[in-house]
Every structure is written in structure tokens, then in C-alpha cells.
Amino acid sequence: MDDVKIYGLCLERLRYQITNARKRMNGQDRFILECYNTGEIDDIIDILELYDIAEKTQEHLSKKLDELAYTASLLVRESLTFDYTDDGHLGLYWIIPGRSVPGYLQDTLSVERELETVQ
């Protein structure tokens, strides 16, 4: 990982949020760490500083968010993913180790395997 971009994420804040989430989790498969209170592409690009996105489309945004979540997961050694809340706002979620999340299982397993190889 010679060229790592974490854009508008703060790794120290994420570690702190995960530590607090461990104390408060109660049977969930994932825990929301941050909610950006918007689902608008332009707002999300500004909040997370994703200015090098190829096109301002949902497809390109989803790809960029997947890449960012994967990179952040490796750096904090936890499985993270972006998803939308029931209200349509983007959020960053911590996937609780050992849990399967529908739609996220494959990504979670690949990140967990990658984490094992770097530890």
C-alpha cells in the first residue's frame, strides 16, 4: 500500500468509535460509527473529500466508497462498510467480527482474511 488515501476519514476517531461500539453492541451484526446526514452525491463528495471521483454518479460513488471502506478496514484492522440508513443517509458501519451481514458477507470475509495476513 504505497499510495493510500483515506480522504475525509480520521483513523484515530474510527478506532475510538469502534472501542466505544464494543461496549455498547447488543446482538447487532453491524454498528453505525458515523452518519453523514445526507444521501446527496455532491454532499457526500464534499464531506468525505472524494474530489478525485471519476463521475458524480451513484455507481462511481459506490465504487469509491467501497475502496475507501476497504482501505480504512485494513488500516484500523476492522471490517468497515458504507451503507445508507433507513432515512436514506450515508453511514459508515463497523461489521462486528464473526457476524454475517446480508450483502456484506463476502466483503467482510475478504477483509478479515487480509487482516489476518498483515497481523
Instruction: Please count the structural domains in the chain.
Output: 1
How confident is the model over 58-95, as pLDDT tens digits?
A: 999 999 999 999 999 999 999 999 999 999 999 999 99
User: Residue 69 in 3-state DSSP?
Assistant: helix
Q: Which of 22, 32, 107 is nearest to 73 (CA)?
A: 107
User: Is pTM beyond 0.85 here?
Assistant: no
Model pLDDT, residue 39? 97
Amino acid at 53: I
**Assigned domain for 3 exists:** no
**Assigned domain for 53 exists:** yes
Q: Which of 97, 75, 84 is nearest to 22 (CA)?
A: 97
**Assigned domain for 4 exists:** no
Lookup: cell for 46: 464534499
What phi and psi, each to the nearest 5 degrees, are found at residue 53? -65, 140
Q: Which domain holds residue 68?
A: 11-118
